[in-house]
Amino acid sequence: MNNTLIIGQYVPGNSLVHRLDPRTKIVIIFFFVFFIFFANSPASYGLLTLFAITSALTTKIKLPYILKGLKPVWFLIVFTFFLHLFVTKEGEVLLHIFTYPIYSDAVSQGTAISLRFFLLIMVTSLLTLTTTPIEITDAIESLLHPLKRINFPVHELALMMSISLRFIPTLIQETEKISKAQASRGVDFKTGSIKDRMQAIVPLLVPLFVSAFKRAEDLAMAMEARGYQGGEGRTKLRQLRVEKRDILAYVLFVCVLIGLFFTRS
Amino acid sequence: MDISFKNVSYTYQPNTPFEFTAIQDLSIDINSRSFVAIIGHTGSGKSTLIQHLNGLLHPTKGEITVGRFTLSANQKLKEMKELRRNVGVVFQYPEHQLFEETVAKDIAFGPKNFGVEQEEIGRRVDQAIKFVQLPEALLERSPFDLSGGQMRRASIAGVLAMNPQILVLDEPTAGLDPRGQEDMMEMFYKLHQEKQLTTILVTHSMEDALKYADKVIILNNGTKYMEGVPAELFLDKQALKKVQLDVPEVIEFLFEFERKFGVSLPYQKQSVSELATEIADRLKRS
Amino acid sequence: MSGPLIEFQNVSFRYGEDQPWVLKNVNFTIGEGESIAIIGHNGSGKSTIAKLINGLLSPQAGKIFVDGMRVNEKNIWAVRKSVGMVFQNPDNQFVGTTVRDDIAFGLENRGIPREEMIRRIEECLTVVNMSDYVQHEPHRLSGGQKQRVAIAGVLAILPKVIILDEATSMLDPKGRSEIVDTVSALKNNRHMSFITITHDLNEIIHADRVIVMNDGELWLEATPRQLFTKKDELVQIGLNIPFVARLAEELTRVGVELEKHPLNHEELLEELWTYHSKM
């Protein structure tokens, strides 16, 4: 519920990026992440950053909101930068901080690494910001489809993912309910030593597990009663279709990649 | 312990797009040792209200006093534990809180948390299991081996063992069969009288409210809609209808009787057989 | 007319060798289009019957037939096509992440073509009056709404019988009446059998026939009207009769003679009127 805490929690919308086939988004992001490591000049980094920012703007989700969502990883990005700044000892000495020398390569490498890191997180969070979890599940099922031939349980994996998604809110409610019941019996989850607090978790976890198992049992029975007998012979309501806009997205992306190879030094 | 709410409001997730005010400017008084029923359809603020009684929720505005404890918007209560020891809450489907290896240990869990001495805990466990009318042989069994109804009783024993002065019951009979429901309510009523408890019952059953409560508080959209003695309050069919509540069946029948025969039979907590005699008299007389 | 839709022949069941019998030598039949209520206290074996009908459990002794098929390993999926079940806990039978996906689940399992699926989903949501909630996620629905989605999901597979296994017991009064209304509308409009398993005696008034279970045995088969004359026996097995029936009985006891046993307020008042005018 706290909207700054969850990285890339889905924001409903109707932008071009929202409407892209989730497979398109996954494929592009996969290759983008891969090609980030090919960037080695300021121009190439600039190109990739431009692509990421443009994509973000196209989603019509406010940029500050997206950046705020990255809050938990900002620390890591900054940390990486400073780590490089102080550890790398190549190139010319640019300046001294107190008596500690800072090298030119340290600055450029630190910037490059943290920029890579930033782009990586930013672009992947664009996926989850504009795609419902169930769409991602469908896309994964479809992309992994070829693996069926080697008996990889693609359908089962996708079903498991979608059921987990379905039950997360239910289990969060349940956790809240049980912790209130135990707090009423004098359990203190908030104060005390670490050992005390660990012990306070037991009266919460046991009932939670018991109820999760009960739910699983009920659900399995309901699924069976509704005729579920594995992936064989099933049809699907939710279907993914490649549209013109997907082709457009691929073309644009390939252009960026070509640009990347020209801007490399 | 007297309870009083003074202009209490509670808002979930304030200053977010999900902001929601569950109770608003609510003032109520509950006298020590009274039996109060709280009624209202789902979403009327009942469960938010009861969570204030033992400090699980803190009022966003206003002030609550429970005996000598005060909960207010801007002040933290230092003796939270002491308050919780005095207010026992039986949540909906309380059997979901069972977790210990044996029933006895689970019943002892509350008192242990509140620092009750070992010997005294033993006494309370024995007492509590008797009160909920479970055989003592069950004490050494795992709570998960019990039947649904027994689990419900065992978890209630766990709340009673805290020796609370206020007992809050959130739909305690949900999911039980008719006999189970009646037995359970009779048990709580007996407890209420013998232990001189202040009992607060959240229920959908107008029948139970009519039968057991000294006072009814009806909530609607987080505010107090009506308050009073059930036998009087429940005569106002129009007002109840407005908040999607039905009058208890007996009263409904008496209304219909009056419409059909033009004879008014006032409701005075008659039993069904007393009512039958009265109707027979009226029919023979007229 | 062909044979019965559901038939139990000397059915006994228990969960394990060392467990007590949950059902003991149970016999009954249910006809096509019939509406049956099964009642009994918690633990009387009434829910076990539901699970036996569509092969979620299988009996140690006796035979069960559904729509002319013996319920066994071989026929199980065909049987489940004829039987739709709605369970007690609204949360634990909701499979999809949205209302639409959940109704689709049963259809997908049966390989229904997509176009047909879309048509049926729309139609069934209209029937249960949930068309405005197509894209809703389950945690944003009330218990009554979830159960109505469950009914729609079952209707979509066009079963011959719908079993409501204590489908109202976890709902508030509003949710309960939503379900009761939905079901009675269905009874009027569709040729289907209904089995309502419940311990709420107010829900059985509209049944053609009531099967009363007690400690694993079929204790009584009767019409609701006949049943309500047996107050003392019902109380003995942990059940209660509705207010009207109780009042009618007390009235008879004090000398007010009623011609037939009333099922609701109007009937009782009508009876009293007749009695009154005869005096």
Biggest CA-to-CA distance, chain A: 74
Percent of chain B topping pLDDT 90: 85
Asked if B89 reaches chain C (Cβ–Cβ under 8 Å), the answer is no
Helices assigned H by DSSP within B11-59: 46-53
Residue C209 belongs to some domain of the structure: yes
Residue C271 belongs to some domain of the structure: no
**How do residues C198-226 score in pLDDT, each as one tens digit?**
988 888 988 999 999 999 999 999 999 99
Q: Are A87 and A61 in contact (CB under 8 A)?
A: no
Identify the CA nearest to B260 among candidates C260, C264, C279, C272. C272
Higher pLDDT, C181 or C279: C181
Band of pLDDT at residue C8, cut at 50, 70 and 90: very high
Mean pLDDT, chain B, integer: 94
**How do residues C249-267 score in pLDDT, each as one tens digit?**
999 999 888 888 898 999 9
pLDDT confidence of residue B86: 96
For residues B16-28, one letter each, b for 16 or more C-beta atoms within 10 angstroms of the residue's C-beta and e for the rest, the string is eeeeebbbbebeb
Q: Are C89 and A218 in contact (CB under 8 A)?
A: yes
Helix axes A42-58 and A104-130, enclosed angle (nearest 10): 20
Residue C51 belongs to some domain of the structure: yes
**How do residues B49-101 score in pLDDT, each as one tens digit?**
999 999 999 999 999 999 999 999 888 888 999 999 999 999 999 999 999 99
* Structure ipTM: 0.92
Chains that touch A (3 or more CB pairs under 8 A): B, C
Mean pLDDT, chain A, integer: 89
Residue C251 belongs to some domain of the structure: no
* Predicted confidence (pLDDT) at residue C242 exceeds the cutoff of 90: no
Residue C279 belongs to some domain of the structure: no
Residue C158 is encoded by which pair of tokens? Answer: 């066009």
Higher pLDDT, C139 or B28: B28
Band of pLDDT at residue C189, cut at 50, 70 and 90: confident
Q: Say which CATH number the domain at C60 has.
A: 3.40.50.300
Of A63-67, A108-112, A229-233, the range with the highest mean pLDDT is: A108-112
Asked if B180 reaches chain C (Cβ–Cβ under 8 Å), the answer is yes
Q: Are B70 and B78 in contact (CB under 8 A)?
A: no
Percent of chain C topping pLDDT 70: 99
Identify the CA nearest to C37 among candidates C226, C178, C175. C226
Averaged pLDDT for residues B238-251: 92
**How do residues A164-178 score in pLDDT, each as one tens digit?**
988 988 999 999 999
* Predicted confidence (pLDDT) at residue B16 exceeds the cutoff of 80: no
Identify the CA nearest to A206 among candidates C247, B183, B106. B106
Q: Name every residue in A having a CB less than 8 A away from some CB of C.
A: 132-134, 162-163, 165-166, 169-170, 173, 214-215, 218-219, 221-229, 233-239
Nearest-neighbour CA in chain C from A197: distance (Å): 30
Q: How many angstroms separate the CA atoms of B185 and C117, rounded? A: 48
Averaged pLDDT for residues B8-15: 90
Chains that touch B (3 or more CB pairs under 8 A): A, C
Determine the residue of chain B that is closest to C198 in CA distance.
B177
* Predicted confidence (pLDDT) at residue C123 exceeds the cutoff of 50: yes
CB atoms within 10 A of CB C232: 9
List the beta bridge partners of residue B250. Answer: none
Averaged pLDDT for residues C143-153: 96
Asked if C43 reaches chain B (Cβ–Cβ under 8 Å), the answer is yes
3-state helix, strand, coil in chain A (%, to 5): 70, 5, 25
Chain C residues near residue B283 by CB distance under 8 angstroms: 256, 272, 275-276, 279
Percent of chain C topping pLDDT 90: 77
Does the beta-carbon distance from C93 to A215 stay under 8 Å?
no
Q: Which domain holds residue C120?
A: 6-241
Q: How many angstroms separate the CA atoms of B275 and C250, rounded? A: 9
**How do residues B108-118 score in pLDDT, each as one tens digit?**
999 999 999 99
Residue C274 belongs to some domain of the structure: no
| Tally of structural domains, chain C | 1
**How do residues A187-219 score in pLDDT, each as one tens digit?**
988 777 888 888 889 999 999 999 999 999 999
Q: Are B75 and B65 in contact (CB under 8 A)?
A: no
Determine the residue of chain A that is closest to C107 in CA distance.
A235
Q: How many angstroms separate the CA atoms of A222 and B266, rounded? A: 50
Averaged pLDDT for residues A29-40: 93
pLDDT confidence of residue A222: 95
Residue of C56, C75, C91, C161 to mutate, interface with A, max A Cβ within 10 Å = C91
Chain A residues near residue C92 by CB distance under 8 angstroms: 214-215, 218-219, 222
Residue of B170, B177, B181 to mutate, interface with C, max C Cβ within 10 Å = B177
SS3 B218: strand
Biggest CA-to-CA distance, chain B: 69
**How do residues B155-182 score in pLDDT, each as one tens digit?**
999 999 999 999 999 999 998 888 889 9
Instruction: Select B3-99+165-244's CATH number: 3.40.50.300, 3.40.50.2300, 3.40.50.10490, 3.40.50.720.
Output: 3.40.50.300
pLDDT confidence of residue C266: 92
Helices assigned H by DSSP within chain B: 46-53, 80-86, 103-113, 118-131, 148-160, 178-194, 206-212, 230-233, 237-242, 249-261, 272-285
Asked if B262 reaches chain C (Cβ–Cβ under 8 Å), the answer is no
Residue C265 belongs to some domain of the structure: no
- Of B189-193, B211-215, C270-274, the one with minimum mean pLDDT is C270-274
Percent of chain A topping pLDDT 90: 59
Q: Which backbone phi and psi does A181 adopt, to 5 degrees? A: -60, -45
Does the beta-carbon distance from A235 to C113 stay under 8 Å?
yes
Residue of C44, C139, C212, C256 to mutate, interface with B, max B Cβ within 10 Å = C256
CB atoms within 10 A of CB C168: 25
CB atoms within 10 A of CB C79: 20
Q: Between A and B, how many residue pairs show a Cβ–Cβ distance under 8 A?
A: 63
pLDDT confidence of residue A7: 56
Q: Are C29 and C4 in contact (CB under 8 A)?
A: yes
Domain ranges of chain B: 3-99+165-244, 248-286
Identify the CA nearest to C178 among candidates C153, C137, C199, C150. C150
Asked if B191 reaches chain C (Cβ–Cβ under 8 Å), the answer is no
pLDDT confidence of residue C35: 95
* Predicted confidence (pLDDT) at residue A105 exceeds the cutoff of 90: no
